[in-house]
Structure 1
Amino acid sequence: MKNIPALLALVVVTLLFNSCAKDDFPVPAASTVSKFTFIIDNDSYIPAKATFTNKSIVPATVGKAYYTWNFGDGDRSTDENPVHTFLQPGTFTVKLSVKTDISQEISESTQTIAIIDPNASGIQTYFTDGSLVYKGFLNGTAPAFSALPIGPFSASYGMAIDTLNSKLYISDSDANIIYRYDTETGDIITFRSGLSSPDGLAIDFKTGKLYWDTDSGIQRTDLSSTNPTDVEDFVTGQDNDPEGVSIDAVHNKLYWINYDGGLWSINLDGTAKTELLPTPEGASTLVVGNKLYFDYYEASGDIHLKSTDLSGGNMSTVTTGISKIVFGLGYEATNKKIYWGDRSAGKIMRANLDGSGIETWYTKAGSSPRAIVFGKKK
């Protein structure tokens, strides 16, 4: 008899719950979601055949689905999994529209595809998204990048280019490796290994040395050495996580910024280590003429790009509102513009050195641009 009240209460609660579930809190019907993937042959050079795979979610309750593809070059398809050949170079926005006959839903999704002209010319441009390295050209047309046949890397943040010897150096922070890629032959080797989370890279061409940051300092090595363990400690005792090394070749100095605070410089002979500013938190520095550029963490989702003179004075703001800490500032000397990656937005931005003329130069959803470097003019 003691269990009767409890049993009655359970029945009442169950009835009430079922009543509420049916009358007051209806479960929404599953929705249609447009999704697709693609692969491209011929390394994305024209003519490039793209094979699309429809990954859309279409619940049984919504009825039959009808698919419409717009490839962005004037052609369309109603196949579920079409194959399309791009005959012209450029950047194309491919859109998949899914319409259902019972629920009358329409769901759309887009992706950007870059198709490369094999005869394209301009200034060779490289950027890394953490996994792959992409190559394109800076010229008068919209930028189009294709992935180099190297990688994927674990966590690539930094790059440095030696245009004289056609070598691109690529850091992999998680693998503790710096790779060297030959931009003419396509060969890639492990240049240095057993490191401590290398990120930013910079070359001193006067002495033929490569510099990089670690978790607690700066290291360097001779570019001519083929020994993967040939490493020299240059700066030690930096507990705030150094990032973003850059070289001032005129005054023979190296600069870096600490992820947890501090903008520093040191002479390349190892003397005069100086904290220029104690507060900036960031991951990139860049010397252009008599100016030092660096990113500055102001707040989450609001990273600033700042500039000072080479002694850390006369700080000014170039731009604000960058989505994430910047890993890699690039300077293109012909047009005198500074470039940076807005990682969460999947964009490469650029501006004049005084901060004017800010524009989006390249966009690819999910690309997370980091280091960007400029090579030879082809």
Structure 2
Amino acid sequence: MKSSHKAVATTAISRLFVLELNAGNIHVMNTDGSDRRTIVTGCHLPDGIVVDVDAGHIYWSNMGIPNLNDGSIERADFDGKNRKAIVAQGKTHTPKQIILEKRAGKLYWCDREGMRVMRSNLDGSQIETLVESGKGDADSRDQRRWCVGLAIDPKFQKIYWSQKGPDNGGLGRIFRANVEIPAGQTAANRSDIEVFVDGLPEPIDLELDLNKRILYWTDRGDPPRGNTVNRTSIDNGSHEPEILVSHLMEGIGIALDVSNDRMFVTDFAGSIYTARLDGSEERNFLYAQGNLTGIAYAEIPQEK
């Protein structure tokens, strides 16, 4: 007896998910800014966003009000429905960039005033602190301790994160460590942390091209080294940054589409930029869109 079920043909459409901090909205659009729709409203100062294509979910971080320690992480479907808080307010202080490690079934994020790199299961359970750069109110006033952006290299099980430093202070740094805390050590005293790049204006979000082993990041400090998109190899000895894009108005979010040789970048003045991965052919295709923070690129399956 033949099955009556027919295989459904699908195709994929390239989409951008963008966070608007001031309005608390999440927008989805085509990669040229067309077909823009608002799918989530009422977010509590959203900052980082990541897409789980297979599960049909988006995850985002809400910074909350820093002195209230009321940050949270939420999840919804691609269309914004079935919205759910998975890390409740107060379980993380000021969550910033959030990333997905699908094979391990983990979400990773940086906690700015909490001065931590953290992770949990995809349902928000089993919250752990992997790095703790400070503790208490006095430490949290030192912006050199603020953890902001992060990326994971699954090949060598390394984690990279930025600590932004004071505004335009030239004290921003990107660190590297093993994903797992060495045996017998803690998030606060682990000995495997190394400074990967230092002397940066204000490094913010990170992205890794795992094929070419290159780390990209935004910097919102002053020109000439700030308000830029930068990159460097994660394997070669020298980690001198290469400036790819400049003249941003406080660059924040970055997303890579490696297979199509392009990046997408947001800034706090409300622009969305695209460029090739080497920084060429840069263009601003949306502007004055509010205070934009996180951005994610994904190829979303669609029924034909």
Relative to the length of structure 2, the TM-score reads 0.64
Superposition map of 1:311-330 within 5 A? 311-313=180-182, 314-326=192-204, 328-330=205-207
The reply on whether 1:231 has 2:83 as its aligned counterpart is yes
1:275 aligned to 2:129?
Answer: yes
Contact 2:170-2:201 within 8 A present in 1 as well: yes
Q: Is the 8 A contact 2:148 2:164 kept in 1?
A: no
Cα root mean square deviation, aligned: 2.3
Cross-structure match for 2:174: 305
The answer for the alignment partner of 1:287 in structure 2 is 152
User: What is the one-letter code of the residue matched to 1:319?
Assistant: V
- In the TM superposition, 1:91-170 aligns within 5 A as 164-170=12-18
Alignment gaps of 5+ in structure 1? 1-162
Does residue 1:265 correspond to 2:136, yes or no? no
Paired with 2:132 and 2:239, the residues of 1 have a C-alpha distance of: 30
SS of equivalent residue, structure 1 residue 195? coil
Q: In the TM superposition, what is the alpha-carbon distance from 1:232 to its structure 2 partner?
A: 0.6
CA distance in 2, matches of 1:263, 1:226: 27
Distance 1:335 1:239 in 2: 33
What letter is aligned with 2:197?
T
In structure 2, runs of 5+ residues without a counterpart are: 1-10, 65-70, 134-144, 183-191, 262-304
1:154 counterpart residue number: none
Q: Map 1:1-378 to 2 at 5 A.
A: 164-183=12-31, 186-214=34-62, 215=64, 216-223=71-78, 225=79, 227=81, 230-236=82-88, 237-238=90-91, 240-260=93-113, 261-279=115-133, 280-289=145-154, 290-297=157-164, 300-313=169-182, 314-326=192-204, 328-344=205-221, 345-354=226-235, 356-375=238-257, 376-377=259-260
- The answer to whether the Cα contact below 8 Å between 2:165 and 2:202 also exists between their aligned partners in 1 is no
Preserved contact between residue 246 and residue 256 of structure 1 (Cα < 8 Å): yes
Superposition misfits of 4+ residues, deviation over 6 angstroms: none
Q: Say if 2:150 and 2:207, in contact at 8 Å, map to a contact too.
A: no
Structure 1 residues 274-330: Cα deviation after superposition (integer angstroms, max 9, x where no partner): 11222252211212211111112455431110112122452222101121251x211
SS in 1 for 2:243: strand
Please state which structure has a larger fraction of its residues in strand: 2
Question: Which structure has the higher relative contact order (CA within 8 Å, separation 6+)?
Answer: 2
* Structure label with greater radius of gyration: 1
Asked if the contact 1:347–1:360 (Cα under 8 Å) also holds between the matched residues in 2, the reply is: no
Structure 1 residues 242-285: Cα deviation after superposition (integer angstroms, max 9, x where no partner): 11111111211111111111211111133321112222522112
C-alpha spacing 1:272/1:239, structure 2 compared with 1 (3 Å):
closer
Match of 1:282, as an amino acid?
C
Tell me the secondary structure at the aligned position of residue 238 of structure 1.
strand
Distance 1:172 1:181 in 2: 13
Q: Structure 1 residues 166, 184: CA separation in 2 closer, same or farther (over 3 Å shift)?
A: farther
Cα distance in 2 for residues equivalent to 1:273 and 1:334: 30
Q: Residues 330 and 371 of structure 1 are in contact (CA less than 8 Å); yes or no, is this contact kept in structure 2?
A: no
Mark the CA change 1:374 to 1:253 in structure 2 (over 3 Å): closer, same or farther: same
Distance change >3 Å, CA 296–CA 233, structure 1 → 2: same
Residue type of the alignment partner of 2:24: N
User: 8 Å contact 1:295–1:306 — kept in the other structure?
Assistant: yes
The 1:359–1:269 alpha-carbon spacing in structure 2 relative to 1, beyond 3 Å, is same
Give the superposition deviation at 1:204.
Answer: 2.1
How far 1:175 sits from its partner (Å)?
A: 1.0
Q: How many residues align?
A: 212
Alpha-carbon deviation of 1:176? Answer: 0.2
